[in-house]
Copies of this chain bind each other. A is one copy, B any other.
């Protein structure tokens, strides 16, 4: 059943209206008809089963209405992961955002590192938000990741706590498994740009208490590193 984003509180029996974008998708892409069922996600753990109402001729409907038939609240993931990532170029950042959403990251912080290949502006942020919503609907994850504005590395590090890992260029002394003396409820994961963290940045991460983490011995693209390291963390600390 297709999912639609509606950032509201859901109550059984209520009639709600889809946004213009979601209406276009429901009526003109998916060609849903009155009486058909759809799933609503509010991005805050709320999921509702709804039925499309009859608003008259399809071509005139700007905001389709539907009636909520049942609701549930999906609990937050037990492990809350904050992803600090140096945005890769163009479409590759979309891959990062989609993976992070599918894998249930709580918050994404785009970080401007010394070797940044991309310095995103406000228009990038708008398109990123849209990518997150699309990924949320496709993956069925009812928790929309929070997306912060891009921030300089040193500011991001100052504002963060030190429980977590950073993606490191593979070296002998770095960890392949991410052992921690406790089961964390929140973790951060830092992934640097294509050129890697600078020496100063890496030192600052270590001083903060973040632990180097690698998957395999080879150089990973940013989007591979994000997904593989999230896979590693979710396996270790689920």
Contact = CB atoms under 8 A, between A and B. Distances in A.
Contact of A139 (B104, B220, B229): B220
Contact of A228 (B177, B216, B234, B236): B234
A111 interface: no
A152 interface: no
A177 to B, nearest CB: 6
Contact of A232 (B139, B220, B232): B232
A238 B177 contact: yes
Interface of A: 77, 95, 98-99, 102-104, 138-141, 176-178, 215-221, 223-224, 227-232, 234-236, 238
A138 B139 CA distance: 30
B224 A103 contact: yes
B234 A234 contact: no
Interface centre among A217, A227, A238 (most CB of B within 10 A): A227
B178 A235 contact: yes
Contacts of A234: 176, 215-216, 228, 232
Q: Ordered nearest first, which 10 A-B pairs have the shortest CB separation?
A: A231-B231, A228-B231, A227-B227, A232-B235, A139-B218, A141-B218, A176-B238, A231-B232, A99-B224, A139-B219
